[in-house]
Amino acid sequence: MEGSLAKFVLSQMKTELLQDNHKFTYRRKQVKGTKIYWMCSQKKAKKCYARATTEVKDGVQRIVSILGPHTHSSELMRKKVKEVEKEAIQNAARNPTLSTRVVLAEVATKLQTDSMAVDTSSSKSDTLSKAMFNGRKEHWT
């Protein structure tokens, strides 16, 4: 994503945030010459120290570097996680011999291959297991 055009979104506080291709957002920290330094907008909330640098050249602002990793998921990841989980639940409902563990491992693998750091906590696995269980009940009773 380095070199891509800088995109911006408005925060709830109506301040301009930099948004990268994964939909992580960054708050402006410092301007030095043509370079602008940004901190992850979740710095306080998630103790995230990911940073970004943009540069203005010929009136165009581009992302020149992103320093991660983030300690949390982005909006895009959360969407992706939901999609993959939904698919897994439907798949589990159709294949009653699949064990929950296998399905969960599949979900984890799918999310990893998208090279996204996804926080998959154990509580979330529980939620997914329950959803799979309920999906099967609906499908087979």
Closest C-alpha among 26, 22, 53 to residue 41: 26
For residue 24, how many other CB atoms are within 10 A of its CB? 25
Is the CB of 40 or the CB of 132 nearer to Zn ion?
40
Is the CB of 56 or the CB of 117 nearer to Zn ion?
117
CB of 76 to Zn ion, least distance (A): 13
> Which amino acid, one-letter code, is at 73?
S
CB of 18 to Zn ion, least distance (A): 12
Is the CB of 17 or the CB of 40 nearer to Zn ion?
40
What is the Cα–Cα distance from 123 to 18, expressed in whole angstroms? 31
Which residues sit at the interface with Zn ion, rule CB under 5 A?
40, 42, 48, 50, 70
What is the Cα–Cα distance from 24 to 77, expressed in whole angstroms? 10
Half-sphere exposure of 28 (CA within 13 A, CB side): 18
Is the CB of 114 or the CB of 126 nearer to Zn ion?
114
CB of 41 to Zn ion, least distance (A): 7
CB of 42 to Zn ion, least distance (A): 4
